[in-house]
Amino acid sequence: MSQFKNKYRKIRSQFSHDLLKAMQANAALAMLCIVTYEASKHRSHIMKIWSMSINHPSFQEEYKAKLIGKHLTGDNEIFRSLHFALPELASKYRWKIPRDMALGDAYGVALSVLRAPKEGADKHE
């Protein structure tokens, strides 16, 4: 696993640095990455429920009857989200970093940007 991570270390670092600069300039981009990450987790949760239902035919039938088509998961790929916010950044890194790694990096950068103290904010002592 570490060989796999090391293979992408340099390009992921560049990706994170570029994202950090963009997110510091526009906090909405940070929120976009967080929402994309949450959508990814929701989709994987739904897929796990669906795969578990194979062993429970009655649950599977009820799930199909009541829930299929009621919750849209859509595409939760980070580069698709970035394509509309920062097309040049998305095209630069799209095929160079695995999607899951890029999503994790974007999520981490977004959290650090949103948690950072704002310049000029009042400080309470």
47-60 tens-digit pLDDT = 888 788 888 888 88
Average pLDDT over residues 18-47: 91
Give the whole-angstrom CA distance, residue 114 versus residue 117: 8
pLDDT of residue 68: 72
pLDDT of residue 33: 93
Average pLDDT over residues 80-93: 92
pLDDT for 31 beyond 50:
yes
Please check whether residue 82 is in contact with residue 90, taking contact to mean a CB–CB distance below 8 angstroms.
yes
pLDDT in tens, 32-45: 999 999 988 888 88
| CA atoms 94, 97, 100, 106: torsion sign | negative
Please check whether residue 80 is in contact with residue 73, taking contact to mean a CB–CB distance below 8 angstroms.
no
pLDDT for 82 beyond 70:
yes
pLDDT for 46 beyond 90:
no
pLDDT of residue 125: 44
Give the whole-angstrom CA distance, residue 84 versus residue 27: 15
pLDDT of residue 121: 54
Write phi, then psi, for 121 (nearest 5 degrees). -75, 150
Q: Give 59-114 as a DSSP string.
A: HHHHHHHHTTTTS------HHHHHHHH-HHHHHHHTTTS-HHHHHHHHHHHHHHHH
pLDDT for 19 beyond 90:
yes
Tokens of 112: 């650090």
* Cβ partners under 8 Å of residue 117, min gap 6: none
Read off the pTM: 0.78
